[in-house]
Structure 1
Amino acid sequence: MPLTSQIEQFWEIESCPEGMILSNEENAHESHYKRNTCRDQESGRYIVRLSFEENVVDLGESYTTAEKRFYALERSLAKKPNIKAKYVENLQTYEESHHMTEVKNVSTHEGCHLPHHAVIKESNLTTQLRAVCESLAKMTTGLSLNDTLMVPGVYI
């Protein structure tokens, strides 16, 4: 078989289909994304609401667990002042960039309160410490925030 024919055959095999074939779940996720995406006028950032599964009614209470984990984090960071300073600086950066905002008059029974912790990666030159929210933390119902979100499938 000549080289030209082999290359032509390779490109035919490797080419993508013209349109995407989506499952019902993928269509629901795509529809949610289109309905719930907006752009912040000041920052230019895109904002997408979380896409929850339809059958999830209640996550349960999460405040108590998040509060206990926060106090444990404070005790741990009190023993490591350098890491605590970096952690506080990281949280301030989140607040300044509007990734995090202070909530006044917190309801302990509404919403989803996530514990957070420090992730340290000394090999990174720019960001050696990050504050990471634990969306896998279980609530009183035994569900986590991640358990209740729609998961997009793989496109064909």
Structure 2
Amino acid sequence: MPDLWRIPFDSLAQPTARRRVIPGGPVFDLAIVQGMVTAGEMGEDSVWVATDSCERDLENAAWDYGDVLQMLSCARPADFKNAEWCQVKGGELYPCDVYRFGFDCERRVRNARGLEVYLKFSVTDDGRLTLVLVSCHGSR
């Protein structure tokens, strides 16, 4: 499996009460993650919706995991907003990359005049590659 980490996990400073941002991001290599989606190595069964708020956002927007993977496939390095530590169900912290870009939900393509979407994700590799979806929603 290719190395998805641009910043090795062991070198990441744990967050403090005041500082969740991870300097030097992005944490993950977007092109490799996207390549795994395109190759079918990361599919809908590899998506874990890791927060209740993300689950609600997906329901409210009527997006499924295929939509999420399509959005991820449309992201570009210039869309990177920041990297930050995020708490998921069960209280565990994951390093996440945040991307923001315009997306046409009807045609499922990138579009600067489309809905501005926020996609916050992490990746685990505990025997099975998993996309940890922390947030996925339109502008608020």
* TM-score computed with the length of structure 2 as normaliser: 0.26
Could you say which structure has the higher strand fraction?
Answer: 2
* TM-score computed with the length of structure 1 as normaliser: 0.24
Query: Larger C-alpha radius of gyration, 1 or 2?
Result: 1
